[in-house]
Structure 1
Amino acid sequence: MNVLHGAHLIEADGSVSGAPLFVRAFAVPAARGALESATLAVTAEGLVEPAIDGVVVGDAVLSPGWTAYHSRLRVIEHDVTSRLVPGSQHELTLLAGNGWYCGRLGWMGARGVYGDRPRVAALLTMIFADGSEVTVSTDQSWHSVCSPIVADDLYDGEHLDLTRERGTEHPVLVVPLDPARLVTPVGPPITRHEAIAPISVTATPTGTLFDFGQNLVGWLRLRVRGSRGHRLVLTHAEVLDGGELARRPLRSARAEDTVILSGGDDEIEPTLTFHGFRYAHIEGWADVTGTVEAVVVGSDLARIGTFACSDADLTRFHRNVVWSLRGNTVGIPTDCPQRDERLGWTGDIAVFAPTACYLFDMTGFLRDWLADLRAEQKANDGRVPYVVPDALPGWAVVPGEEPESVAIWSDAAVWVPWAVWEASGELAVLAESYPSMCAHLDRVLTRLSPRGVWEGDFQFGDWLDPTAPPENPIQAVSDPGVIATEALHRSILLTARTAEALGRREEAENWRARAARLRQAFADAYLDADCRILSDAPAVYALGIVSGILEGDAVQRAGDRLAELVRAAGHRVIAGFAGAPYLCEALTRTGHLDDAYALLLGRDEPSWLSPLARGATTVWERWDSLRADGSVNPGEMTSFNHYALGAVADWMHRTAVGISPAAPGYARVLLDPRPGGGLTWARGSVRTPHGLVAVQWEQDAAGSVTVTYCAPDEVEVELGPAAGAAERVDASAFAEMLAADAALA
């Protein structure tokens, strides 16, 4: 792309401390006639906040986001025609932040993973009525000055000094900009979503504590008046411990903003950082007057899916899933948004993608991230790294070993584009990712043992199995080789289906043949004469059923054994990231719907609903991130905003409500609600590429079920047994109730 043609990257020369502000004065000619259009294109290695005459351009924040910088640098374009006046002088400024490029990344103290200082590039193109064009681009004519931001970091926060003057202008350093790196974003920008007022304000011995009632991602907005030079310190946390901010789960992330007031009326937002928090403490607030609200920040994703039911806790859990997704889509799909991590862990989105694609229009967002995955995969000889973008280059979990593909995490190369394809029907998603799918499988197939199964390599396995000790979350009861081989089989089958969709029938047959060999190897290595799977754990049966690796009566026997294990556990969830998403689906497929509902609706820990009694407003990383006695789980990884375990919502959508795409993009839809669990009603909807699909069912005291639904005229509808006598109604019949459901989140 050439929208930055002639522009260079510029950086401060070291004379400017803090976040540099790049400055360029320019005139808009008056003699060329009316200004027809003016477009400002910007990019950055780091963060960039453009402004004209001191007023920020556009609604995007944390721009241009995080990408695989070695290959991809997003260019953001803004229409600024209305901001410019022919015959007038203007000032264009670019505020640069460290962001992901040169700030802290990861929990190992890394800083400047990509570079040691931020760089920005911009091109302003003005087109006039006489057909002429005038441009202003980043080059040696620019200068850098001090901004009010003394320090900025995504993990540690922002230090803002409103008494600070610009000071002396300094020359900039000019660096060539490789146009091959420049890309047009296909995903949405990061924006402010809403502002939330605190539900309580409490004086403390050291300041003032604000509770916003919702674990969220963003920053504080202060409208404040205080004496010049007065210092406010803003700290953040997700939960309280003994009435104070529980900051240990943040690990080394300070999550602290400092503000030095100007002495006038100040409106403050620390836009070069973000935090995950429900609670904020402000030191020095008692000495000022003003207001505080929390600004929710994230990628500008359109909400398309809803869910509600007669069980208030289950509806609340679904709301928590929505909020966790919102908090973990700040530019890329992350594991958590608050501690010294916030990385694009591939395993989390691999299992959660179907849920995400029902709730929000994820197509552009995930296509953009998959482009980063392919870039990192290419740089790693076909290996999909643990995180994308790869902020952990060369790091392996086992010291001294080279990093290698790991099941489910690396399978994101297959599972994520397939989920996007199912929801969107955009064949380009599969076409873009098919070579990546094949490269992933080709690499893993070289790792199989002499028995033909994937064993011996390091695996995360059923990560955070609740039976594992807090200090060793990898110590699951399920065998890692079993989990890996099951996940691999699912990837091979999905790749075969992808090849079929793309018209590559011979390749599809080859992949199916490869899957058949893996099924036989799995049976020989891991199944005993009674069809018990090695390690006899819920996760191996659940994933074995949904992956398609079991055949014949082994499927039913696996389902029966899974039901036995679930009942023996008192319908508590004895599985982690690999198994929990599929427990209810596996039980349902094998005729154990009652057990699936009992598992979903269980309140005893570990369960999906038990955190609600402890105030959860998002999905937790651990089933007991906050323990029954109010103490924080002592494990090193204890996030209170982690969507992976919320992946069961996919079953809620497909089974409890009964909406499934029977063809990609919902060109054909299956409506198959399966009442149970004591629910007396459930409803849900999804805005498909063809229009709204919605279902509501109600069950009376006698057990009779009534189903109503709507679907676009051009969409073929298949009705399951409970919906056989369903009434088709106009979409307007659902409008009021679905608006209420959407408002829940």
Structure 2
Amino acid sequence: MNNESPTSVGRVRVERRTDGDFADTPTPRLSWTVESAVPGWWQAEAEIRLDGGRAGERVARLDSDESRSVAWPFDPLLPHARHTLEVRVTGVDGAVSPWSDPVTVRSVFLADGEWVAPFVGLADPPEPAVPGLLRAELDLGADVAHATLYASAHGVYQVEINGQDVDSAVLKPGWTAYQHRVVHEATDVTALLRPGANAVGVRLAGGWWTERFGFHGAAKPFYGEQPAVAVQLHVVLSDGTTRVLTTGPDWRGAVTGPVVTSGIYAGERIDARRAVPGWSLPGFDDAAWPSVQVHTRPDEPGAVPEPAIAEPVRRVDELTVQDVITTPSGRTVLDFGQNLVGRLRVRVTGERGRVITLRHAEVLEHGELGVRPLRAAAATDHLVLSGGDDVFEPEFTFHGFRYAEIDGWPGELTLDVAREAVTAVVISSDMRRTGWFECSDERVNRLHENVVWGMRGNFVSLPTDCPQRDERLGWTGDIQVFGPTASYLFDSDAFLASWLRDVAAEQAARDGVCPIVVPMVLPFGAKPAAAWGDAATVVPTTLLERFADRRALAEQYPSMRAWADALLAVAGDRLLWEGMFQFGDWLDPDAPPDDPAGAKADPDIVASAYLVRSLQLVTAAARELGDADGGARYGDLTERARQAWVREYTTPAGRVVSDAQTAYALAITFDLVDQATRTAMGDRLAWLVRRAGYRIGTGFVGTPIIQDALTSTGHADVAARLLLQTGVPSWLYAVTMGATTIWERWDSMLPDGSINPGEMTSFNHYAFGAVADWLHRTVAGLAPDTHGYRRLRVAPVPIAGLDRAATRFETAYGMAEAGWTAQDGQLVVRAVVPPNTTAVVVLPGGTETEVGSGHHEWTVPDPRARVEPRAVTLNSTLGEIADDPEAYEAVLAAVDALGAEWGGTLRSLKEWTDQRTLDDELVRLPPAAKERLQEALDGLNSRRVVPVVG
């Protein structure tokens, strides 16, 4: 055998977290990547070495070609275990790689009954949700071999040992469905302990535990009024003895420290005069601090935390001030140039007791801070100066903002001063970035970047709807539609698998119904709601498709079945989901500002389509997991429900009785109709989009699927126009208005710069950003052909208006790439296939092939039809003008020049058909319109004249 190999093992990891090799189960699954210069490299076998070069070394040989989600090949791990792990592989060519660099695998779970720490809090706090400090000391008589801190909270906290934070995570332990499930961290603190006296201190605040949830003045605490923390420190000394320190009544705590008040929605008041030097160091005099109060003992239901399986929230970026604005009212506002989620770090020197006030908002409205969308959330921090050099950063709150209004600054806050003194600290769950996209249109690139920022800001411990107002809840409908995009942009497997455990727990408490928000903290929304509760079936399926996460699918399968059974109970014998409250196609652009559910698509049509969809997914899950009886039962119900939908809601000619873009997109993408009807519905959908002037007509339900519905039925040209439209409503409208995240409404900000009058308006909502998944899979052309990208599908669909598009995605097997460039009537298609994978390639024009790993390139004729521009006159039909992007923009610009009122009249036109001419439409406009339009059309036609050569 040839042992010299151009092949090496790259990243070895323990699934699922991406920020370290933590084993949350005794039998974790393993993955590794391979780097090889050998084209078509394929694994023949692998060896896994545990504790190489140490006593007890073990090697497992695997006669397998799989390198992702590999079952643990050794005896189950024990609690507190620490091991090194290495991998080497042999290719089918017989070449053997070197051993990989070792990674340290650390158990983060405890044995049954081993958690003994009670949750403790401040004794007799003067009012609800009071922040404070807690502490205890531990004397160690020998050097520390290794030590692990297990800790959790009803609230948010950070631990200090001997004056140093134990890690960089913030807002620990995050938000889960606390009444059902609390998680603990397991932090290696060996380096922070020393022989002799040691001190453990906890900074504690209420966070989500004490927050008031609800709307319209009815908000109230849901979990509890006071925070509490549980700490269990395991120390193994060099002599082999073990010491355990736990929270208990011997701890002391006080309402003291710089954080005076703190709330997720309200913000934080920090008083630097209240600093307590040395409070987390040994020997601190805490005699005046009272003993803590025990809140929850470990023998009480739900009091034992489970190991966290997802990455914590951390500081992931920092932004500097881009501009200092003086508003019309004379206020000072800092602009960071990007809508973000986090808080400000402020370095300042001023007189003792001076208060600096920071107010945060996402937009300016008429030059002033736009705070109306925040509703009851104050989103305000108050900083009280000590009189010396102070550094402030709110710790237990966060804000969604691009702009920060500063009041009380000592001296003049110029741009140079602001850049030195104020930094925006971006926080997010610390997931690994895995997906990128780039094309020839910078507006689309900005749109994609907005999607990235929207996800980053709303993936803070759980998938929220928005990060700024008095909400920030785990709305199930939002992540149901955005999950595929999320799984591409970041490795969100662990994050979503953790949240799904909350979904299952909330369902179990509600007879299988997945509520509209998880964790469920609202007094309404516990009845089934289509597209929201369907997250129970859709998100586990997404984790299977994108991450090959069968563990999550198996864990959630009872929850998936429970949701399907709950829907079948309401659907009855007709197998139609009718007559109940529904969000429907939420935020359809035609819905009134005060009625976001008022969509064109009938809510019963949407609900019954989702009934079929969830039954489809439960059927597929049953078959994947080997449940033959479940597969047969739900498969039969799927077909019966599909036939009921077709019978009730479609006509023989292929129309849906709700003649709306979303209705057809559902029928096509959910496979509700046969092939002939599907084609007819695709044609009708394309016609509806054209009639609307190539403007989007969908809400939360239709938007993520309309582009797939168009391209899969042969209307990529229509999808291209829909993507590149800049008028309202459209994806690029917000880009033209300066958006740096995805908006909740298509017109969250109106063209005149005023905020949408609706009571509910956010400028950071990721749902409409689900279009990015189509950009990745279809425009650039990179998709999974089998679970987890073991076989890729490279099938780019070049669209009109772009000259190139490319995407990169870091699969579990390595980096994959796909894209195309147009050159002189040809398309150059490129792909990179990682080692140990293959790719099915469908080239533009239809040629199909399969390739192995390596770099690949093909040149094919550009199939996009070149349309020669035609003369445009007042007698041109509105449909002809809509089909001609240059003419469309020229006409609208000419009418805009008459004034906003008249331009708005034409821009809001809903009937761009071939049955009406431009001249017909002029009756709605002032007499000057015809002359202005004629001038514009003459100019357009003259620019389009092609000179005759020779």
- Normalised by the length of structure 1, the TM-score is 0.94
Which residue does the alignment assign to 1:743?
none
Which residue does the alignment assign to 1:133?
242
Q: Deviations over 1:182-226 (max 9, x none)?
A: 111111000000110010123456653110000000000011111
Contact 1:709 1:727 in 2 (8 A): no
Contact 1:73 1:182 in 2 (8 A): yes
Which residue does the alignment assign to 1:174?
294
1:15 Cα offset (Å): 4.0
Q: Which amino acid in 2 is paired with 1:708?
A: R
Does 2:209 correspond to 1:101?
A: yes
Q: Which moved more, 1:665-674 or 1:174-183?
A: 174-183
Q: Which amino acid in 1 is paired with 2:482?
A: F
Q: Which amino acid in 2 is paired with 1:361?
A: D
Does 2:470 correspond to 1:340?
A: yes
1:20 Cα offset (Å): 3.7
Structure 2 matches for 1:380-459, cutoff 5 A?
380-392=510-522, 394-396=523-525, 403-448=526-571, 451-459=574-582
Structure 2 matches for 1:32-181, cutoff 5 A?
33-87=142-196, 89-108=197-216, 109-145=218-254, 146-164=256-274, 168-178=288-298, 180=302, 181=304
1:63 Cα offset (Å): 0.3
1:346 Cα offset (Å): 0.1
Q: Which moved more, 1:693-702 or 1:302-311?
A: 693-702
1:452 Cα offset (Å): 2.8
Which residue does the alignment assign to 1:270?
394
Within the candidate set 313, 324, 328, 2:454 is matched to 324
Which residue does the alignment assign to 2:140?
29
Which residue does the alignment assign to 1:673?
796
Contact 2:140 2:198 in 1 (8 A): no
Q: Which moved more, 1:449-458 or 1:314-323?
A: 449-458
Q: Deviations over 1:526-559 (max 9, x none)?
A: 1123221121111000011111111231111111
Within the candidate set 10, 17, 33, 2:120 is matched to 10
1:48 Cα offset (Å): 1.1
Which residue does the alignment assign to 1:476?
599
1:450 Cα offset (Å): 5.5
Structure 2 matches for 1:447-526, cutoff 5 A?
447-448=570-571, 451-526=574-649
Q: Which amino acid in 2 is paired with 1:91?
A: A
Higher relative contact order (CA 8 A, sep 6+): 1
Q: Deviations over 1:154-209 (max 9, x none)?
A: 00100111112659412211133336541111110000001100101234566531
Does 2:706 correspond to 1:706?
A: no
Structure 2 matches for 1:347-366, cutoff 5 A?
347-366=477-496
Which residue does the alignment assign to 1:622?
745
Q: Deviations over 1:215-265 (max 9, x none)?
A: 000000011111111110000000001211100000010000001011111
1:105 Cα offset (Å): 2.4
Q: Deviations over 1:576-601 (max 9, x none)?
A: 00111111100111111111111111
Larger radius of gyration: 2
| Structure 1: distance between partners of 2:464 and 2:430 | 15
Which residue does the alignment assign to 2:837?
715
- Cα distance, 1:165–1:310 mapped onto 2, change above 3 Å: closer
- CA RMSD between the two structures: 2.0
Q: Which amino acid in 1 is paired with 2:390?
A: D
| Structure 2: distance between partners of 1:565 and 1:321 | 26
| Structure 2: distance between partners of 1:274 and 1:624 | 25
Q: Deviations over 1:44-93 (max 9, x none)?
A: 00111111233222011000000011111110122111112212x33211
Q: Deviations over 1:697-740 (max 9, x none)?
A: 111132x1111111123212101132859998987999xxxxxx
Q: Which amino acid in 2 is paired with 1:193?
A: V
Tell me the number of residue pairs that the alignment of Structure 1 and Structure 2 aligns. 723
Contact 2:115 2:298 in 1 (8 A): no
Q: Which moved more, 1:106-115 or 1:377-386?
A: 106-115
Q: Which moved more, 1:575-584 or 1:501-510?
A: 501-510
1:678 Cα offset (Å): 2.0
1:451 Cα offset (Å): 3.6
Contact 1:455 1:481 in 2 (8 A): yes
- Normalised by the length of structure 2, the TM-score is 0.74
Give the match's secondary structure for 1:640: coil
Give ranges in structure 1 of 5+ residues lacking alignment: 397-402, 735-745
Contact 1:231 1:261 in 2 (8 A): yes
| Structure 2: distance between partners of 1:479 and 1:15 | 52
Q: Which amino acid in 2 is paired with 1:149?
A: V
Q: Which moved more, 1:47-56 or 1:722-731?
A: 722-731
Which residue does the alignment assign to 1:740?
none
Which residue does the alignment assign to 1:602?
725
Contact 1:11 1:119 in 2 (8 A): yes
Q: Which moved more, 1:38-47 or 1:283-292?
A: 283-292
Contact 2:350 2:410 in 1 (8 A): no
Contact 2:140 2:195 in 1 (8 A): yes
Q: Deviations over 1:502-532 (max 9, x none)?
A: 1123321222211111121112211123221
| Structure 1: distance between partners of 2:533 and 2:131 | 38
Within the candidate set 665, 668, 671, 1:542 is matched to 665
Within the candidate set 672, 682, 688, 1:559 is matched to 682
Q: Which amino acid in 2 is paired with 1:443?
A: A
| Amino-acid identity (%) | 43
Q: Which moved more, 1:293-302 or 1:48-57?
A: 48-57
Q: Which amino acid in 1 is paired with 2:524?
A: W
Within the candidate set 223, 236, 241, 2:360 is matched to 236
Q: Which amino acid in 1 is paired with 2:394?
A: P
Give ranges in structure 2 of 5+ residues lacking alignment: 1-108, 277-285, 858-950
- Cα distance, 1:728–1:243 mapped onto 2, change above 3 Å: farther
Contact 1:7 1:123 in 2 (8 A): yes
Q: Which amino acid in 1 is paired with 2:174?
A: G
